[in-house]
Amino acid sequence: MWGFEPADSAVAAAALFKENELSKILIPGFGYGRNAKVFTDNGFEVTGIEISETAINLAKKHYGNKVKIYHGAVSAMPFDEEVYDDIFCYALIHLLNAQERIKLIKACYGQLKPNGYMVFVAISKQDKAYAQGKKLSKDRFLSRHGVKLFFYDAASVEKEFGKYGLTEVKEISEPAKNTENKSAQIFWQITCKKKALPV
């Protein structure tokens, strides 16, 4: 659907993780693996979680055994006993309701190694889709495509991620360069770091 060109935020996350010598990554909401390529190309050990069997089959055709993918909903995390150096979650969390969002953040943080990073990319209230469609609750709307979207602002980012080692929050446009066939969307890129355990 979006080709195999990774999102700009995935490229930025890979650079951050590499700079910190982290290489074992979990990608909840793996899809067909569009954003995994930048990680596999950089030698990361990649594990994904994906609810769509069709997407998993596409990913397996593309990646073979290079990635491990669990079939299921992120609400069922954890799927293994592993802890990961880093977690990258792109354009998934805003599809969930309040309880599901909190559960996902907590589950990801629980599978993160001390000194590990997690990066979430979530739609912003500054995006043109905000307040389009039927209002379901505060900042949550049913889009014309039948998708439930929660739009974040700085306060809701702080409220949901604040106690999970929030280190950086910035608004970004994806794609960074406007292309003819893709109109840019406005997202928050949310970075958290898990504190090292006291010695």
pLDDT, one tens digit per residue, over 95-112 is 999 999 999 999 999 999
Phi-psi region of 61 (alpha: psi -120 to 50; beta: other; left: phi over 0): alpha
Distance CA 76, CA 122 (A): 20
Mean residue pLDDT of the chain comes to 92
The domain defined by 8-125+152-194 folds into Rossmann fold (3.40.50)
pLDDT at 178 over 80: no
Q: What confidence category does residue 71 fall into, taking pLDDT thresholds of 50, 70 and 90?
A: very high
Note the pLDDT of residue 64. 87
Chain-centre distance for alpha carbon 2: 16
State mean pLDDT over 16-29.
95
Residue 189 exposed, middle or buried by CB count within 10 Å (0-12, 13-18, 19+): buried
Note the pLDDT of residue 75. 94
Distance CA 77, CA 104 (A): 8
User: Looking at the DSSP assignment, which residues form a beta bridge with residue 192?
Assistant: 118, 166
Q: What confidence category does residue 198 fall into, taking pLDDT thresholds of 50, 70 and 90?
A: low
CA distances from 85 to 5, 48, 106, 132, 192 (A): 23, 14, 16, 38, 12
Note the pLDDT of residue 54. 95
Question: Before 28, cis peptide (omega within 30)?
Answer: no
Cα distance from N-terminal residue to C-terminal residue, the chain: 47
Q: What confidence category does residue 177 fall into, taking pLDDT thresholds of 50, 70 and 90?
A: low
State mean pLDDT over 70-98.
96
Task: Supply φ then ψ for residue 29, to 5 degrees.
Answer: 75, 50
pLDDT at 1 over 60: no
State mean pLDDT over 141-154.
93
pLDDT at 2 over 90: no
State mean pLDDT over 119-125.
97
Long-range contacts formed by 93-101: CB under 8 A, 24+ apart:
93/120, 93/122, 93/150, 94/122, 94/123, 94/149, 94/150, 94/151, 94/152, 95/147, 95/148, 95/149, 95/150, 96/150, 97/140, 97/148, 97/150, 98/137, 98/150, 100/75, 101/150, 101/160
